[in-house]
């Protein structure tokens, strides 16, 4: 009998007969259950999905004793059959209404954790899809997206979030076909994958904004999208717009101890004295475990370590607690500076006190540096959002763009990440809509039909620099001057440098666009960009060559927190200069000072 024709009763009978180690039969049952789940009511679908997850666990633990899991699968199948029969008798009512209830009673923390985890998984899936579209053979990217959908599906089933459950289940079916090479993530299939991620984001946002017990209204088009995911061949090209966390491989000694083959203290003693000798060989030579036992442990270690290790662990901390910690450390730095500058400490009468204060200063500085590093986050997530934006905008304009992100691991103060998001989007929209020409225009100008958009971030002199560069038409100096004169901003462009002319585009309402589009062209945006960046104590610079492209450089301070400074006095005024901007400092003696014309003073430094 084909998998498509297997019923729950057939599967229940098959479960009793198959061996726990028979991967072929387990895969057959898994496929049949997925087919049945597609047309089953939600209350049955949840049970079937739980059974499928247990089958996945059995296949992943090949070689282990999984008979208990098999028995659990059988019980779930019986439960699903029971539910179906009761449904047929009218004892259970089910509605496919677009309203559902958030059925997490008295546990908002669980819902909050689900939302946070899901948002992270969706972000990783989106980044992987962008990679997959560039390289449809990227198996790891497919697996990343699949794991995201699978993990969200499992949790949503537990929480009773049926809309998300149905969407992720359909997404899994679709991604399975990509993973099995039945279809490739290109053209309409790529668009369908992105649509499913967008819909998943919308659903998560709906859940986030809903109160417990209030109805959740599914976004428009959800049912149609789920139908397409189950039958992607019907999709048309759209023109508009983990299981558990990966674990570190087990150590060989840990495996032997867990199996009862060795004592932990003896293993640790051998590990300490083995020198350059491999730990496995050292254990065999010591006689603690046999060669066969060590060999089996090594095979298990390789199996467990087949996935890439994360290399580090992390925990979640509430943002307000982190902010409070940083504030307290800031106050500590200031208080310690006051103590260190006290006359009693610096008098030289108490050298031991001075030594203790200096030692404390070192520790306080280390604590300050650590807190500053805690505030820093990489720009990776922002870069991924921009990559998706560029893709969608390019599709809408029917142009080809090679998006090149550089420096996405560059770190910036976390309070600034969200604040620079809108300015970056404005600049990218302008680059795509006004900068990069249509393919035929580029070819007529001797350019490749595919435009290039470079998003680059790096550290420079205590600042973070973010550059948006395109190889489009660039800024037209004459056109800018003409528009500025028409608007009464300037009277004439004579004597103005390119930099001065280019800065005119930051005037409110200024635009050189010949037509207004749904992307840009109304003259609203660049003045907002400049204002937002200056609010962050930064600046925007422009470099452009007409016909060849344009580069916007955003220069921001590394952090919005405490900055070390040097207090200097000029006349009756005092100033604080950031130490990061001081190349050299010195204390002149009286001989180096000279008076000029009886009024000002100059200092002689290195003979100058």
Query: By percentage, how much of the chain surpasses pLDDT 70?
Result: 81
Please provide the distance, in angstroms rounded to a whole number, between the alpha carbons at the two ends of the chain.
96
Q: Please state which of the ranges 5-19, 360-374, 460-474, 495-509 shows the lowest mean pLDDT.
A: 5-19
Q: Supply the pLDDT for residue 43.
A: 62
Q: What angle do CA 71, 72, 74 make, to 5 degrees?
A: 65
Give the Cα separation of 449 and 399 in Å (integer): 8
Average pLDDT over residues 88-106: 41
Indicate if the pLDDT at residue 101 is higher than 60.
Answer: no
Confidence of residue 401 (pLDDT cuts 50, 70, 90): very high
pLDDT at 92 over 50: no
Residues 6 or more apart whose CB falls under 8 angstroms from that of 441 comprise: none
Report residue 572's pLDDT band, with 50, 70 and 90 as the boundaries: confident
**Confidence (pTM):** 0.54
Does the pLDDT at position 180 exceed 90? Answer: no
Taking a C-beta distance cutoff of 8 angstroms, is the pair 557, 580 a contact? no
Which of 146, 144, 145, 159 shows the shortest CA–CA distance to 208?
Answer: 159
Residues 294 and 288 sit within 8 Å (Cβ to Cβ): no
Number of helices (H), then strands (E), belonging to the chain: the values are 23, 13
Two structure tokens written together for 396: 């809408």
Neighbours of 528 (CB within 10 A): 14
Closest CA to 168 of 246, 114, 106, 214: 114
Q: Quick check: 225 and 196 in contact, CB under 8 A?
A: yes
- In the three-class reduction of DSSP (H, G, I as helix; E, B as strand; rest coil), residue 261 is classed as coil
What tens digit of pLDDT does each residue of 226-274 get?
A: 888 888 887 654 443 333 333 344 577 777 777 777 777 788 888 877 7
Lowest mean pLDDT segment, chosen from 118-127, 420-429, 583-592? 583-592
DSSP secondary structure of 104-135: -TT-HHHHHHHHHHHHHHHHHHHHHHHHHHH-
Q: Two tokens at 491? A: 């009277």
Length of the chain: 608
Strand, helix or coil for residue 422:
helix
Provide the β-strand partners of residue 466: 457, 554
Per-residue model confidence as pLDDT tens digits over 103-156 = 444 367 778 888 888 888 888 888 888 888 778 888 888 888 888 898 888 788
| Alpha helix segments (H runs only) across 244-290 | 252-258, 264-273, 279-286
User: 406 pLDDT band (50/70/90 cuts)?
Assistant: very high
Counting Cα atoms < 13 Å in the Cβ hemisphere of 230 gives 15
Write the CA distances from 592 to 26, 566, 582, integer angstroms: 88, 21, 21
Q: What's the CA gap between 592 and 38, in Å, rounded?
A: 87
What is the distance between the alpha carbons of residues 110 and 116, in angstroms, rounded to a whole number? 10
Q: Is 455 helix (H, G, I), strand (E, B) or coil?
A: strand
* Burial class of residue 554 in the structure, from the number of CB atoms within 10 Å of its CB (0-12 exposed, 13-18 middle, 19+ buried): buried
CA distance 24 to 358: 70
What pLDDT band is residue 16 in, cutting at 50, 70 and 90? low
CB atoms within 10 A of CB 380: 17
Report the sign of the C-alpha dihedral through residues 42, 47, 53, 55, in that order.
Answer: negative
Contacts of 526 (CB under 8 A, 6+ apart): 426, 430, 505, 506, 510
Q: Mean pLDDT throughout 8-31?
A: 76
Is the pLDDT at 338 greater than 80? The verdict is yes
Q: What is the pLDDT of residue 62?
A: 62
Give, as one character, the DSSP assignment of residue 497: -
Task: Give the tokens for residue 589.
Answer: 């003696």
Burial status of residue 142 (CB atoms within 10 A of its CB: 0-12, 13-18, 19 or more): buried
Q: What DSSP character marks residue 556? A: E
């Amino acid at each position: 009998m084909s998998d498509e024709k297997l019923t729950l009763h057939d599967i229940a009978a098959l479960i009793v007969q198959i061996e726990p180690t028979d991967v072929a039969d387990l895969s057959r049952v898994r496929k049949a259950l997925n087919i049945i789940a597609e047309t089953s009511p939600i209350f049955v679908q949840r049970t079937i999905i739980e059974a499928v997850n247990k089958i996945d666990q059995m296949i992943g633990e090949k070689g282990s004793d999984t008979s208990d899991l098999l028995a659990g699968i059988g019980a779930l199948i019986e439960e699903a059959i029971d539910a179906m029969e009761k449904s047929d008798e009218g004892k259970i009512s089910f509605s496919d209404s677009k309203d559902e209830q958030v059925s997490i009673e008295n546990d908002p923390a669980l819902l909050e954790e689900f939302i946070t985890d899901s948002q992270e998984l969706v972000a990783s899936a989106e980044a992987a899809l962008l990679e997959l579209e560039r390289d449809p053979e990227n198996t790891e990217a497919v697996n990343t997206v699949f794991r995201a959908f699978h993990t969200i599906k499992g949790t949503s089933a537990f929480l009773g979030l049926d809309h998300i459950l149905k969407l992720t289940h359909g997404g899994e079916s679709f991604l399975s076909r990509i993973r099995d090479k039945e279809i490739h993530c290109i053209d309409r299939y790529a668009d369908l994958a992105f649509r499913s991620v967008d819909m998943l984001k919308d659903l998560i946002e709906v859940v986030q904004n809903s109160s417990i017990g209030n109805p959740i209204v599914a976004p428009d088009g959800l049912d149609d999208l789920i139908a397409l995911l189950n039958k992607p061949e019907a999709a048309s090209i759209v023109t508009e717009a983990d299981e558990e966390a990966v674990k570190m491989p087990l150590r060989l000694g840990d495996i032997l101890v867990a199996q009862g083959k060795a004592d932990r203290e003896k293993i640790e003693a051998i590990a300490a004295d083995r020198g350059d000798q491999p730990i496995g060989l050292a254990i065999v030579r010591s006689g603690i475990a046999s060669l066969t036992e060590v060999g089996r442990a090594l095979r298990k270690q390789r199996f467990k370590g087949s996935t890439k290790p994360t290399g580090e662990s992390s925990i979640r901390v509430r943002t307000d607690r982190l902010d409070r910690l940083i504030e307290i450390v800031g106050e500590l730095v200031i208080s310690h500076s006051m103590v260190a500058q006290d006359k009693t400490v610096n008098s030289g009468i108490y050298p031991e006190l001075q030594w203790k204060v200096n030692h404390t200063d070192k520790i306080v500085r280390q604590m300050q540096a650590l807190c500053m590093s805690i505030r820093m986050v990489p720009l990776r997530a922002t870069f991924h959002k921009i990559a998706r934006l560029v893709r969608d905008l390019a599709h809408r304009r029917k142009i080809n763009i090679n998006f090149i992100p550089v420096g996405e691991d560059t770190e910036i103060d976390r309070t600034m990440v969200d604040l620079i998001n809108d300015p970056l989007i404005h600049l990218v929209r302008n680059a795509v809509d006004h900068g990069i020409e249509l393919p035929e225009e580029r070819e007529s100008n001797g350019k490749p039909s595919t435009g290039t958009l470079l998003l680059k971030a790096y550290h420079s002199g205590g600042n973070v620099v973010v550059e948006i560069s395109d190889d489009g038409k660039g800024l037209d100096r004459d056109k800018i001057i003409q528009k500025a004169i028409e608007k009464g901003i300037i009277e004439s462009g004579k004597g103005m440098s390119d930099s001065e002319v280019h800065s005119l585009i930051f005037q409110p309402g200024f635009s050189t666009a010949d037509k207004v589009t749904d992307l840009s062209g109304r003259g609203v945006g660049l003045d907002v960009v400049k204002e937002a960046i200056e609010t962050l104590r930064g600046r925007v610079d422009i470099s452009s060559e007409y016909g060849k492209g344009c580069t916007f450089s955003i220069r921001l301070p590394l952090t919005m927190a405490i900055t070390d400074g040097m207090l200097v006095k000029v006349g009756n005024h005092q100033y604080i200069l950031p130490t990061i901007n001081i190349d050299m400092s010195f204390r002149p003696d009286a001989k180096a000072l000279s008076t000029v014309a009886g009024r000002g003073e100059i200092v002689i430094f290195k003979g100058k």
